């Protein structure tokens, strides 16, 4: 049995915590006091593929016992505060955040290994603090080389795991399409199907891929555009939903991170900068 922590059991974290618990791993959710109390009282319910899956992971507001694997599933603006809840040793940390800049923050205070990872093929949202609706299955977790046994731990029902490439390859493979998608969906409040014909989307992908290449990643515009073409027409982004609702968003951690990397690497990103400005106007 592997001990697994989920820091931030929201939509992504809950969609991982439930199947991992049902597979026999000891799962501990680390959350705000009110959320931890609700999970201790009600457990977690995941609605997936027309079925309701119920699990009763442990739940705490501060982690005091060591873990084999810690999955970090908070959104970027909440990362610093969330890390204050981890007070025990962790073997391997897999951060499933969007962007690239969180890796430095995580490594600054980690005793064990911090290995780049991303989550994809997942549309999920919370109906309440203990109930998650997952519209797509299975989700895909991509992990960079060097995670030892962590990928095997995640290989349970409803989770596809891929161990593939360097840290830059793993992080940029998602970010190169997510940055322009997040910025453009947030700026226009339109879906992917409506935006494929908007020239700013392809131009933004081209900019992000150029920055990725300069940073040592191998993703290409054609690879990214093929994924965008395969996305559901009605798909939008959590960044767009958060901005529309007036909530803190990951716009800066996603699109802003690409712009800052471009500045550092000497790659211009005028379209992404324009879209970020529209979101903030």
| Alpha helix segments (H runs only) across the chain | 11-22, 33-42, 79-83, 102-109, 150-154, 167-188, 192-195, 199-214, 221-230, 238-245, 251, 257-265, 270-280
Residue ranges of the domains in the chain?
A: 3-163, 167-280
With 80 as the cut, is the pLDDT of residue 110 above it?
no
Where does the pLDDT of residue 281 fall: very low under 50, low under 70, confident under 90, or very high at 90 and above?
A: low
Pairing of strands 139-143, 117-120: antiparallel
Q: Is domain 3-163 in CATH 3.40.50.970, yes or no?
A: no
Q: pLDDT tens digit string along 131-148?
A: 999 988 899 999 998 777
pLDDT grade for 109, boundaries at 50, 70 and 90: confident
Model confidence at 210, pLDDT cuts 50, 70, 90, reads very high
pTM score of the predicted model: 0.95
Per CATH, which fold does 167-280 belong to? Answer: 1.10.1040
Is pLDDT above 80 for 226? yes
Average pLDDT, rounded, for the chain: 95
Topology agreement, domain 3-163 and domain 167-280: no
Q: What's the pLDDT score for residue 148?
A: 78
């Amino acid at each position: 049995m592997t001990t697994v922590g989920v820091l931030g059991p929201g939509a992504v974290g809950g969609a991982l915590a439930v199947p991992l618990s049902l597979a026999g791993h000891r799962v501990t959710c680390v959350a705000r006091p009110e959320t931890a109390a609700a999970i201790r009282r009600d457990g977690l319910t995941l609605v997936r593929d027309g079925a309701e899956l119920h699990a009763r992971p442990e739940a705490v507001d501060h982690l005091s016992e060591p873990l084999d694997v810690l999955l970090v599933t908070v959104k970027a603006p909440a990362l610093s505060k969330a890390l204050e809840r981890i007070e025990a040793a962790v073997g391997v940390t897999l951060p499933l955040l969007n962007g690239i800049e969180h890796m430095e923050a995580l490594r600054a205070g980690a005793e064990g290994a911090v290995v780049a990872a991303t989550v994809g093929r997942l549309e999920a949202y919370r109906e309440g603090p203990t109930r998650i609706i997952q519209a797509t299955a299975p989700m895909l977790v991509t992990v960079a080389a060097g995670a030892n046994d962590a990928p095997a731990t995640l290989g349970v029902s409803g989770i596809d795991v891929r161990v593939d490439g360097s840290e830059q390859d793993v992080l940029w493979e998602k970010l190169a399409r997510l940055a322009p998608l997040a910025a453009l969906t947030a700026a226009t409040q339109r879906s992917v199907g409506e935006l494929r014909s908007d020239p700013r989307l392809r131009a933004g992908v081209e900019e992000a891929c150029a920055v990725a290449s300069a940073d040592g990643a191998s993703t290409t515009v054609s690879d990214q555009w093929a994924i965008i073409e395969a996305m559901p027409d009605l798909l939008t982004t959590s960044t767009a939903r958060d901005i529309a609702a007036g909530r803190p968003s990951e716009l800066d951690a996603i699109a802003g991170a690409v712009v800052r990397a471009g500045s550092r690497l000497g790659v211009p990103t005028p379209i992404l900068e324009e879209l970020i400005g529209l979101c903030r106007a």
